[in-house]
Each structure stands twice: as C-alpha cells, then as structure tokens.
Amino acid sequence: MNKNRETNSNDTFPRAQLIQVGDMTMNIGKSMKNAFSDAGNVTLFTIAVFRETFTRGFEFKEFLYQCYKIGYKSLPLISITGAIMGLVLTIQSRPVLVDFGAVSMLPGMVAVSLIREMGPVITALICAGKIGSGIGAELGSMKVTEQIDAMEVSATNPMRFLVVTRVLAATLMIPVLVLYADLLGIMGSWVGANIKGEVPLILFFSQAFAVVDFLDFLPAVIKTFFFGFVIGMVGSYKGYNAGRGTESVGIAANSAVVLASLLVIIVDMIAVQITDMIG
C-alpha cells in the first residue's frame, strides 16, 4: 500500500508540471499567432495606404487641414521642448568643458548633439505622444460612432480621406517640427551660455554651425521622414481598427503612443547603424 501511494504521488507531481508546461506553450503559441496576425494586418494596411496615395481623387483640402493640425497646433509644445533641450544640455555640459578649458567648443557640441540625435528623437517622441494619440483617438471615436461606416455607405473612401491625409501630413510636418526644435534648441543653448557669461548671438551661431557638417544634417533630416510616417501610420492603424466599445478609443490612443514610441527608437537605431556604415 505504501508503495502504491508513493507511486501515485510521484505520478501526480510530474503531471501537474506537464499541465503547466502545456498551458505555457499554448499561451506562447497564441501570442505568436496574434503577433504574426497583427504584422500581416499592418502590412495589408500599409499597402492599402500606398495604393490610395497614388490614385486619383486626392483629398488636398483635408491634407492641408491635417498639416495645420499636426504642424501649427504642435508649435507651442515643440517650442518649449526645443528650448529646454538646448538650455539643459548647455547647463549640464558647460562645467565639464570649463574643467578641460574647452568652453569654445560648447556651441558646436550642442549643435551637433541636437541636430544629429537629441532633436529628432525627442521631438519625434513628443509627437508620438501628442499626434499619435490624437490620430488614434479621433479615428477610434469615428469607428465607435460608425462614422467610418457611414462614409463607406455614402461612396466616400475613408482610407483616402481619413488615413492617407493624416499619414502624409505627419510624414511632412514632423521633419519641419524637428528643424524648428533644433533651431530653438540652439537659441536655448545661447541663453544658457549667457547665464554665466556674455556671448554675442552671431558669434555663438557661427561657432555652432562651423562644426556641423552636411553629413550630420542630411541623415538626421531623412530619418525624421520615417519618424513621421511611422507615427502617422501607427496612429491611423490603431484608430481605424479600434473596437466597437467606448473604451476601445482609449485603448487605441494608448497603444498608438506606446507602439509609435517603440518604433521611433527602433528606426533611430537602424538609421544610426546605416549612417555609421556609410560614414
């Protein structure tokens, strides 16, 4: 009897472990299935956007309105962000450069840092939070209230009117916002440099742009177009494919911010690797 009990207890323990392993395997399989399904849906959505972009009937007025919303409406936030970037970078870097006797390198260091990396990435992340969530919430609310279905019934192409205009506006406006943030960042750096000294504005700008090379400027501008495309595409995809419940609007906006921010970092990493290989 004792031997039978020991055998039953020994059989029960591995069986429980096997059940746990099976459940874990099933969860991993479901996650992989959902990931591949989402990747396929995003690919089809992207192909549809490109197809509608190059067909007749482009919604030019809606495109200009989205450029106004994405570009002009974001100027206050981008202005504050750009100025603070340059100011903080100058305040943090100046004591180190003073110790090494290289204060004259401060304008060039700030300009290169802002133009090559800090300006594009931080501005894109700010835009992912503001623009990406806005597009996701707007299209998500239209999905919930069945406005998108009504557009399809009324022979209006919602993909062309809602998605293409927003994706193109984000792709074109975010590089402009990045350049604007870089300029204000250098202005903020000049303000920071004048806290403990007096540096003429023309001298500061001449020292700053004397260090910046064309190879510093061009890759940074090119990758901002990809940042804008990713932000517009993710926000549009999440909002356009939102669920029917009211809480799906918040889910679409939140997931758009998270995914767009992650993709911005990934695109920046790829761009840095490509730039290093070319350079």
pLDDT above 80 for 5: no
Looking at per-residue confidence, does 96 or 24 come out higher?
A: 96
Residues 48 and 64 in one domain: no
Residues 150 and 262 in one domain: yes
Rounded Cα distance between 6 and 206, Å, is 85
Residues 212 and 261 in one domain: yes
For 104, the domain range is: 59-278
The amino acid at 244: R
Q: Which residue's entry shows tokens 């009990």? A: 5
Please report which confidence band the pLDDT of residue 36 belongs to, taking 50, 70 and 90 as the band edges: low
Residues 40 and 75 in one domain: no
Domain count, the chain: 2
pLDDT above 80 for 13: no
Please report which confidence band the pLDDT of residue 146 belongs to, taking 50, 70 and 90 as the band edges: confident
Q: What is the pLDDT of residue 222?
A: 94
pLDDT above 70 for 9: no
| Average pLDDT score over the chain | 86
Residues 120 and 5 in one domain: no
Looking at per-residue confidence, does 138 or 10 come out higher?
A: 138
Which among 54, 77, 97 is the end of a domain? 54
pLDDT above 60 for 4: no
Which of 63-72, 147-156, 214-223 shows the lowest mean pLDDT across its residues? 147-156
Residues 109 and 150 in one domain: yes
- Summarize pLDDT for 94-127 with one digit per residue, the tens: 888 888 888 888 999 999 999 999 999 999 999 9
C-alpha count within 13 angstroms, C-beta hemisphere, residue 4: 1
Residues 238 and 146 in one domain: yes
Which of 9-13, 18-22, 198-202, 264-268 shows the lowest mean pLDDT across its residues? 9-13
Which of 6-10, 54-58, 204-208 shows the lowest mean pLDDT across its residues? 6-10
| pTM to 2 decimal places | 0.85
Residues 118 and 255 in one domain: yes
Looking at per-residue confidence, does 1 or 21 come out higher?
A: 21
Please report which confidence band the pLDDT of residue 90 belongs to, taking 50, 70 and 90 as the band edges: very high
Please report which confidence band the pLDDT of residue 35 belongs to, taking 50, 70 and 90 as the band edges: low
Residues 30 and 113 in one domain: no
DSSP the chain: -HHHHHHHHHHHHHHHHHHHHHHHHHHHHHHHHHHHHHHHHHHHHHHHHHHHHTSS---HHHHHHHHHHHTGGGHHHHHHHHHHHHHHHHHHHHHHHHHTT-GGGHHHHHHHHIIIIIHHHHHHHHHIIIIIHHHHHHHHHHHHTTHHHHHHHTT--HIIIIIIHHHHHHHHHHHHHHHHHHHHHHHHHHHHHTSSS---HHHHHHHHHHH--HHHHHHHHHHHHHHHHHHHHHHHHHHHT--SSTHHHHHHHHHHHHHHHHHHHHHHHHHHHHHHHH-
Mean pLDDT of 68-77: 93
Q: Which two tokens stand for residue 151?
A: 């557009």
Looking at per-residue confidence, does 171 or 145 come out higher?
A: 171
Which among 11, 28, 54 is the end of a domain? 54
Residues 210 and 248 in one domain: yes
Residues 97 and 222 in one domain: yes
Residues 202 and 126 in one domain: yes
Please report which confidence band the pLDDT of residue 40 belongs to, taking 50, 70 and 90 as the band edges: confident
